[in-house]
Homo-oligomer: A and B are copies of this chain.
Amino acid sequence: MGRKTADRRYAVWLSDPSFAAAEIARGIGYGAVVLDIEHGAFDLADLERFIPFARALGMEVLAKVLGPERGPIQQALDFGADAVVVPHVENAAHAKAVTAFAKFPPLGDRSFAGGRTTGYGGFTDEWVREQDTRTRCLPMIEDAGAIEEIAEILALDTVDGVFVGPSDLSLRRERGAYARTDGDFADLARIAEAAAAAGKPWVLPAWSQAEKEFAARHGADQLALIMQHGALAAGFAAPFEQMAAIDAEVRP
């Protein structure tokens, strides 16, 4: 483990704080994890342990927080996340309000805590600048209002890039369940172009070959390539089919 270089562009999408999952991903060469705190099972004490562990392995931690609220954003940053991914940002005004929780005054409205991020000591103005610069705030583009105002969102100085939520975007743009249609890719292209214009990164969960190629061609900064549970399902299915074939032949 750890022999391979970690590529920060490639992330796994985790639904629970499995230390083994992080180690396995790191061993393969993944250099980032997306924590789906919104839909997964990450309690506070788990996050407090998992985030510094993944970072100590040399991986970036993108924390997709519980909601567009102060508490979850602050906690992920307090526990040491490299980036907070903020779901359900409705529009530019909403983005301005909620991304403020990721940056300290006067830039934003994050609350100070003397803990992991300060080396368990006090703080200085220089530390404030360093934190605001080093950690990233990535609002999600998954609401209809957010994609309409994406330029304004990207222009905010509390915003360091955007993270796409294709499934919710499809539902909210009246295309129904996400089926990787032309309409979906048109939205992705719009987001990629807005990010390029703003000179800020964009990030995509890209389960399929088509999404992966699109992301490569359109310069996505980071990609989640696979979900933890999807990977497990694929890994469990193959030997089952292998054995079923053997038994069909040997002991039908």
Q: How many residues of A contact B (CB 8 A)?
A: 106
Chain B residue numbers with a CB within 8 Å of A47 are: 41
- Assembly CA distance A251 to B9 (angstroms): 12
Q: Provide the bound-state CA to CA distance between A9 and B244, in Å.
A: 10
CB <8 Å contact, A171 and B49? no
Quickly give the copy total for this chain. Answer: 6
Please indicate the chain B residues that have their CB under 8 angstroms from the CB of A70 in the complex.
Answer: 67, 88
Against B, the Cβ 8 Å flags (1 = close, 0 = not) of A13-49 are 0011011110111011110000010111111111111
Interface presence of A128 (CB below 8 A): yes
Chain B residue nearest to A77 in the complex (CB): B39
Contact A24-B120, Cβ < 8 Å, known A41-B45, A246-B213: yes
A28 pairs with B240, CB closer than 8 A = yes
Q: In angstroms, how far is the closest chain B Cβ from the Cβ of A169? A: 10
Give Cα distance in the complex from A249 to B83, angstroms.
Answer: 29
